Structure 1
């Protein structure tokens, strides 16, 4: 079985100068494609179940699906709960077999974020699992505006919570449909100097591939979350499959055609982050 915790894949990445992809899953087809791509590239992968995924499929079902894939994989697979906002949801994910949880207290005042994240980190550690937290606020394209991570607050957050990975806000934005400008590297370097905890970039689809490649090798960013970029690939492949045969109605046959282009695109993303 190759189910891994977040700490088990991020600490080697931090030491080895590379990063691991946190891939946002929505269903069986993309989950399977992501593992296939990781096996082809011989690298670990983090399969993430975010809020929209959990609204579509119950957490116990997601746990079974994801851990089933991890059990059969030839590479380390982290089964990760993304953007949970309650301790109860994190506890439920742990009970469902997830190997890592991300508690998002970024909308809370600093002291409340620290206290709540620390409780979840202790809960995860007691189960032998990992916890990711967020300090600062990563905004959303066309929605809430980001608030950059303060390096001194990041140092306090990391020290007082005991988290295994820290999501930061350095110009990255969720749900961007295309790569935009660069990141605030001066802020990133100040955060790196303040804490030894592996760093995470949410909204990785908005970071240009050359910049992802460079920062994976030259910074403490050990995890890039990628969602929108691969959802766009899935959508295009699905439309192409329907256009090729408008009379096809069997969704299994249709979705079978979507997986190869999704695997190919995922392999490119993984290759950029490898050592």
Structure 2
């Protein structure tokens, strides 16, 4: 199945009452497992190349990897740039075959964020692909603090940028390893009362499973980004594989042992976002 755009999977999610997982990739082993899990659950998946992934593997290579997996998949796959910080980041992803660009101007003043995101959205739409923006900074565990999204500013941002999806800051935090927190549902409802743009939660690993499911079915949150949770699952599987036999040295053989555990963990993530009828 060929690659699809973010809009292709989020608009049905918005109308049908479910969400799609944006899975943060670091390499071939996890992106391959994510597609296998999506096929097993018969649901679309968004493969995401964030800054850490791009430091390790060039965007043109990632684009080819995503496209190769999508062409052999039985479910829709989105090739998504996560946290592009410059116009050049986004242009390189577009030229590399990505079907969705996320421009992150959330640290910038509101009007600058709007203007720069609108330019990226215009470029993306002219090429027939999608664009995600962020309004209200989502912080990092043990790092920068979040700045919550103002509903009025969110409505202005959605209206003036024309983005296909809008990431918001409503209690979510990047790189959170536990699920002791939760999202600010009154703020979410206030935002969606002012705009019908599909909403995105970054730092989804820190959101309790029950709240993920509830919001996927009852709110305009159509995309949850999941990275840390699945990196932890991969790391645990890799440690088991390495420690199982001190004489092993072939990394391909070792890495093969991470596939099934990661597929199982990913299937659990994907099931939480399904609607009542899926």
- Category of TM-score, reference length = shorter chain: over 0.9
Structure 1 equivalent of residue 147 of structure 2: 147
| Superposition pairs of residues 40-79 of structure 1, within 5 angstroms | 40-79=40-79
Contact 2:22 2:48 in 1 (8 A): yes
| Superposition pairs of residues 1-275 of structure 1, within 5 angstroms | 1-275=1-275
CA deviations over 1:140-166 (Å, ceiling 9, x no partner): 000000000000000000000000000
| CA distance, structure 1, for counterparts of residue 14 and residue 182 of structure 2 | 22
Consecutive unaligned residues of structure 1, counting only runs of 5 or more, are: none
Alignment length (residue pairs) = 275
Question: SS at 1:273's partner residue?
Answer: coil
Offset of 1:274 from its aligned partner? Answer: 1.2
Offset of 1:37 from its aligned partner? Answer: 0.3
| CA distance, structure 2, for counterparts of residue 197 and residue 32 of structure 1 | 30
| CA distance, structure 2, for counterparts of residue 173 and residue 182 of structure 1 | 10
| CA distance, structure 2, for counterparts of residue 247 and residue 224 of structure 1 | 40
CA deviations over 1:165-198 (Å, ceiling 9, x no partner): 0000000000001112221111110001010000
Offset of 1:246 from its aligned partner? Answer: 1.4
- Root-mean-square deviation (CA, aligned residues, Å) is 0.6
| CA distance, structure 2, for counterparts of residue 66 and residue 2 of structure 1 | 10
Question: SS at 1:263's partner residue?
Answer: helix
| CA distance, structure 1, for counterparts of residue 197 and residue 163 of structure 2 | 8
Contact 1:2 1:74 in 2 (8 A): no
Question: SS at 1:48's partner residue?
Answer: strand
Consecutive unaligned residues of structure 2, counting only runs of 5 or more, are: none
**TM-score, length of structure 2 as denominator length:** 0.98
CA deviations over 1:113-157 (Å, ceiling 9, x no partner): 000000000000000000000000100000000000000000000
Question: SS at 1:4's partner residue?
Answer: coil
CA deviations over 1:58-112 (Å, ceiling 9, x no partner): 1111111111101111100000000001111101101100000000000000000
| CA distance, structure 1, for counterparts of residue 113 and residue 183 of structure 2 | 24
| CA distance, structure 1, for counterparts of residue 266 and residue 255 of structure 2 | 16
